[in-house]
Structure formats: structure tokens, C-alpha cells
Structure 1
């Protein structure tokens, strides 16, 4: 970023500078967080007057900050000190409005101060949003520098999951067998999804423990079916499989039990939920700052998948992406982006890419091997001379094994502030698989993804 100022001697009445700025919902969050102004009228998702539409109104001082930006950056620029500012607000501005801030020099004073006119308008309808005047101490020292760097800000919200949940709400509630929801976290996630009309939970396990968890939450289970299975967690999971075969459940959701205990009855050849492909796991990650969700697969089931297992991993992920309306761009990851006979994952990646090219994997673009940087960053891909539709733009990341997948998903969650929706694919019905430490948003999003996947398959 380059900054060039105008010293007091350089300024003349009539000099002007402008700044154009599109107000985004993230701007409203950033201003609220930095100022402490949590007025619901100035937040993107709050409906203050109850008319069903968020006001999304930009706070007055946020608009005034555009004036500060012009004074401190353009005219007079770096070194300017604000002494007085008068503001008159004429109309409101909202997220989505494109504003133009203009500052004009009115007069110079012998003491080195300058009086300027300040206006903010909305060019789309020529509305005057703000008018006023400013008196500043103009800089005396010339400033011209092009190496200034301001760290970027990422708003920790999950708009992709919000959009998926909004799409799932109008669908029929998905009857879901919830296995061992006997702690407040797992039960709370199922009840939250029920409150959003995304699932209709059937609660399976030790009935006393389930009711105790409900009591801890202050929740009423009178409207929900509770099936008492007094035996082991595996027995409760087997009951969930039975409900699927009877047509009473169209999805299964993990509660407070180990993944192995949940899946063991599902892989039973006679009474399980096998339908052909191997069971594979997908984390759908909503990473703040990224333009679309990112899938990480397989991070929970297949420990060291061979080539044909990776085919199922990729095909299941592609099918899920298509069900969610996402263009599948599969990056098969390795430590390098070139084929190295000593690195098996690079060989597998090349073979998988060729298999997709010849139609053995359908529905999406598949490229590999790709290293993590050139899979997701366009600049890194260009530096390595990689072209095509996936390099730098991958939204499905196929990892070499469970170690890499688990580490990548948790890095995104705990360092990059992502939320992750977990789903097991390849079974007769979608299996909602969350970690016992997952947030209510992650559990709700997982239910939404399961519903969207189920109804897309039935379409």
C-alpha cells in the first residue's frame, strides 16, 4: 500500500479527494467489535422492529469513519491531526450500499490549520448521507511510502453454514435415529436441529440417562420418541440400524458414544447399512474468509486407504458436493506436486487423476498430486506452473491417510476458527458424525447437510 500526503504548503482551496466504499455485513460486525456498539439495528442478522427483515443499518460513526479515512490517507493524508469535526446525518445507509466520501479544502489558516468540507453520498440514488466540516492540523513533512502493510481481519462467522441451514429448513424434517444422546452436548445438538425443523429425532439409549441430560438442559422431551435400550452402546447403534431397515429413520446421528461402537453394527453384512461403496467420512469446513466451504476427506474412518478405497472416498465427496450445489474440484494431496516413486500418495494421486479423466470417477474435476499450498492458493499454483481447473481452487481435499486428515481438520477448527460438519457416506442413509466436543452450530450444520444430501438423492 502506498501513501502520499499533501503538506500544508501543497494545499489550495478547491482541492478534493474521494473514497468509494461498499458496505458489507462484515463491516458491521467489525465496527461493532471494535467500538463496542452492539445496537441490533447495526448488526447484519438482527431484526429490531420484528418485521422479518434485518435492518443492517450502518452506524453513524462508521459512516463518519469514511471521512477519517480520506483525511488520514488522501487529503491532506499521512500526518494529519483532526481538531474539530461537525457531522449532520441526512439519511441512513445499509449493508450493500455503495458510498462515496468526498473531502474539499475550503480555506487555509496562518496557524497551519485547514478547514475542509466533508460529504458522504450514495451515488445509486444521489442521496446525501452525511455532511459536515472538519478542521485539521495539516502535515508539514512530506510523506511518500509504498511498503505499508496493514494486517487483514477475518470475521469469525459462518455464512456458508447459515446458507445451508436456511436451505434445509423448508424441507420435510428428516426422521433421525440419535444414538446415545445421554449428555447435554449431544442431546442439545439434536434438539436444536429439531427446533429448526431440520430433523425429527428418535432418541435411542439408556432412557434414564437421556432424561437426565434433558433435565440438565432444561428441555422437555414429551414430544419426542425415546427408545430405551438398556444394553451396550453397540446395542443402541444396532437399534438405529433396525429403525432404518423398518423405514422409520432416514438418517443416523452419533450421540455420546465412540465412533467404533456406532459403526460396528452398520458394517454387519446381514443387518448393517452397507450398500456397495466403502464407508467414508467427510468434514465440510466453513472457514472464515473463504468464498465457499472446503471438504476434508477421509479424516475419521479409513486409516490408510488403498487406491480403490480412495476412489470411493472421492466419489462420495463429489456426490455430496453436488447435493449441496457445490462445484466439485478435488485436490488429491501429497507432500509434493510431482510424482515421486518414493511417496506412495503421489503415485495414488496421479492414478486417481487419470481415472477421473477416463470416467472411472464421475461428476467432478480431480487433480493430483497437489501439495497443500498449490491446492488452495492460486499464487502458489502459478509459481509452480500448475494450470487447470483445480490447482489453487480445490474445495475437496483428499488426504493420504487419517493422520493427515484429522490434523488438517483440527488445524482449520482450532487455528483458523472453522466450524466442521461431519458426515459418513456410503451407507444406506447419511450418518451424522460429530466429535463429542463439537459446538451446537457444528451439530446443526451436520444435520442440515444430511437433510440436503438425503433429499437430493431422492430427487
Structure 2
């Protein structure tokens, strides 16, 4: 017989005094899953959205505590085939996140087959009773051997990585931002929401009539904000860029204008925002399965970058990670495989980029490649393939081989893995906030927070907050 198999105890085999127990620690994920299953969203029993890991005094729902008794009855004693008739419960003490609990059932009485009565109790690690009562069940009448079963893994978005960044950025003076064509409810609403959170001081550049119409649709008063009347979208983009060059604005934000039209003004050789660095886009992804932000570049601007363009793409992404408080980012240079293959040019680029980082031509990060996606993100996958690396399995910055691969990766994370994305264009004289119509409010706020923190890093040469400061900002 398999040692992991559990045999139930039939009504005929059951004796008064038979007992069984199971132990379980209460976690934030337990509270979230119970809320989803039951529909009970009482704030007293839900972890705080921005501080779930540390909210140890959050109260567990009493019925979740009671459900531990059901686990003992259904799994151990009497076990498989048991069905409830009735359960009485009382709760003399509260349970909090982090408490270790022991649920125990003791057979009190056997009634007419198949009915049995059990005393039930849940205790905390100090021996205090937190739940007690009586269960009446139909015990199984036939023997059954049940193999131990691992339930499918669930991904619970238990940590909000954007919230502490937004809180941290709001501690800085609002960033003067030229918002280009905020002429619909999404683009204007995102700018105004970011202003309300103290992230930006918006300068609305566009057609006054359309901007006012969008404000009316939102029910918003924009009289306190500067409005620059420029009706043509291309001229509005040029005006926003000119404001940065004249020191009247310190960031540019995309509104209801095509990205190409805005970026065409940003990259102009004459009167644009170009520097000696190639501009690139970096996504900051809040992925439910990860414990920290994941930065991905370039999935929006450089279609098929050559080696030297990739050097700037890597450095730009590393700089943004530094601005967000990550002192030594781990950069995985992605390809289809983790070995160098001359038939796959991206593996050659990855190897060269890794060596350039070793020689200091890319600085401030640990860089390794080529890495396939699995061994960049998963320790076991890296170990299975014999990859010894500080980055493999721990990458928090991913550099994709081309725009197609990056675009697919970001959208897969967003629409399949339910990640949320904020983003920023880097390498110009000022950060460019390239929001999308599909972005929700949190993504818009996070993008503005990235711009705020990056501009501080660019100006001061250091991050406004490191990882510890970011964590404290969530409290």
C-alpha cells in the first residue's frame, strides 16, 4: 500500500473516542481565497491591498476557521465518503494571519447506521480554543483508499507592487508634465487622477474644445490646470517637446494621440529630446506569481535592435530598476535557447552583452545570457539544465531579442497571467509616459510614479528610495 494513501474508517469500524487532527497556519492567501469563494468581502477579514504580507493582525473569517473541521472529517476521520448532517459552532477567540491552528474531531456517539456524532475543536498554537462545537455526519459504509492528492496550484495576487511606488513618488514635488492631447475621458482622467495623487502637475496641451468636452464628460473641473491651446496633434506634440527643452516641463505624457506621432517629435534631430543614448521603452510588470516587479524591454519602440542598440536598451532598463530602489538588478538576456548557436543571432548578442557587463560597458547590474524564458525565471528549470548563474531563476529584468518577442511576452503576462503593466520611454532628455487606452487607473498612476522616481534618479544620481524604503512606503 502506498504510504501516502489514506484509508477511511467506516461506520462499523468507528469507535466512540476515536480522534484525529490536522494542523494549518492561517495565511493572507487563505483570506483572499475564502473571500472569492464565499463572496464575503468584509474589510475586517481581508488583507490590506498594499500590505498583505505583513498584516499579521488581520482577522480570519470564523467560517474559514470552522471549515478546518470539515477537512478533518472528510480527509481523515471518518474520511472519504463522509457527509454532513449538521454542525454547531461557537468561536471564543479570534484567529489572525500567521496563527498556527490544530483542528481535532473526537467521536462522541454512534447512532443508527450511518449516523455518528463528533465533538469538534480548533486550538491555536498556545492551546487556546478558538472554535468548538458538535458535528453530526453520515459516516461511510464502505472502505475506500484515497491517494494523497495535490490540488492544482493557484496564483493569488497577494502583493501590490505598484502601491508602494505610488506612495513613495507622491512624497516628491509633483512632476511638471506636458500632457499631449488629453482629449478623451481616458487620457484626461489618467492625468487628473495622477495630479490628485500628487504625482504630476499636468499642463494640458491640445484642442481646448475637445479637452473641455472630455472634462465635462468626466464631471471634472480643470480650471486650476494650465491649458496650452494647440489644435493639431503633431503641433501639440512639438509644443510639449519644446516646453521640456525650455525647462517649462520635466516630462511628457501621451494622451489621445498615436504613439508614432508623439515619438516622431521626441526623436527629431533638431529640437527633439534626443541624447547620445538610444531611446527605448521599459515595461514594469506587476505579475501575481512574482515577489517583485519585473522589468521588460524593449517591447514598444525598437523593432529589430542591433547589438549596440541593445546595449542602450539594457542600460536604460537597469537605470529604471535603480530608480525604483533595486540596487543590483539581475538582467536576463532572452533567446529561444540558453546556449550559443550561430544560427540564432540573439544568442550571440546575449553572450556579448554579458561579457560587456563583465567589462563595465554595462554597469550597475548582473547580466547573463543567453537565457531561455524558463531558466531565466525558474530556479528548478535552470538547475535541470545545469546553468550556474547569479541571474538564472532570479531575473528581475528581461531583455527580449526583438519587439515582436517583447510584445507577445508582455501581452501574454497581461491577458493570460493577469499581470498589470506600467511603462516609460527612457533615453530622452525627459521621461515620456506612454500610456495606453487599455490601461486602468492603477497602471496610469504607476506609470506616472515611474516617471517621478526616474526623473529624481536622473537629476540626483541616486534613487529616492531603495527596496527597504519602498517597503516602508506601503505601511
Give me the TM-score of the superposition, normalised by structure 2: 0.88
Aligned to 2:59: 57
SS at match of 2:161: helix
Give me the whole-angstrom Cα distance separating, in 2, the residues matched to 1:80 and 1:389: 50
Quote the offset at 1:334 in angstroms.
0.9
Map 1:310-349; keep pairs closer than 5 Å: 310-326=310-326, 327-349=328-350
Given the superposition, is the C-alpha separation of residues 428 and 143 from structure 1 closer, same or farther in structure 2, using an over 3 Å criterion?
A: farther
Quote the offset at 1:142 in angstroms.
4.0
Map 1:235-246; keep pairs closer than 5 Å: 235-246=235-246
Aligned to 1:19: 23
Map 1:87-236; keep pairs closer than 5 Å: 87-94=89-96, 96-109=97-110, 111-123=113-125, 127-146=128-147, 148-155=149-156, 159-230=160-231, 232-236=232-236
Give me the whole-angstrom Cα distance separating, in 1, the residues matched to 2:38 and 2:151: 19
Contact in 1 for aligned 2:346/2:401 (Cα 8 Å): yes
Quote the offset at 1:434 in angstroms.
1.6
How well do the aligned residues superpose, as a CA RMSD in angstroms?
2.4
Give me the whole-angstrom Cα distance separating, in 2, the residues matched to 1:299 and 1:247: 30
SS at match of 1:450: helix
Structure 1 window deviating more from structure 2 (339-348 vs 194-203): it is 194-203
Aligned to 2:470: none
Given the superposition, is the C-alpha separation of residues 143 and 362 from structure 1 closer, same or farther in structure 2, using an over 3 Å criterion?
A: farther
Aligned to 1:80: 82
The aligned length equals 450
Structure 1 window deviating more from structure 2 (76-85 vs 114-123): it is 114-123
Give me the whole-angstrom Cα distance separating, in 1, the residues matched to 2:41 and 2:411: 31
**What stretches of structure 1 move > 6 A for 4+ residues in a row?**
none
Map 1:351-366; keep pairs closer than 5 Å: 351-366=352-367
Quote the offset at 1:84 in angstroms.
2.0
Contact in 2 for aligned 1:17/1:70 (Cα 8 Å): yes
Quote the offset at 1:264 in angstroms.
1.6
Alignment gaps of 5+ in structure 2 = 463-475
Quote the offset at 1:170 in angstroms.
2.2
Give me the whole-angstrom Cα distance separating, in 1, the residues matched to 2:49 and 2:332: 38
Aligned to 2:247: 247
Contact in 2 for aligned 1:102/1:120 (Cα 8 Å): yes
Deviations 1:4-34 (A, max 9, x none): 144132666152312222230x333322221
1:33 pairs, out of 33, 36, 39, with 36
Map 1:268-287; keep pairs closer than 5 Å: 268-287=268-287
Quote the offset at 1:65 in angstroms.
1.5
Given the superposition, is the C-alpha separation of residues 357 and 120 from structure 1 closer, same or farther in structure 2, using an over 3 Å criterion?
A: same
Matched, 1:375 2:376: yes
Give me the whole-angstrom Cα distance separating, in 2, the residues matched to 1:161 and 1:126: 39
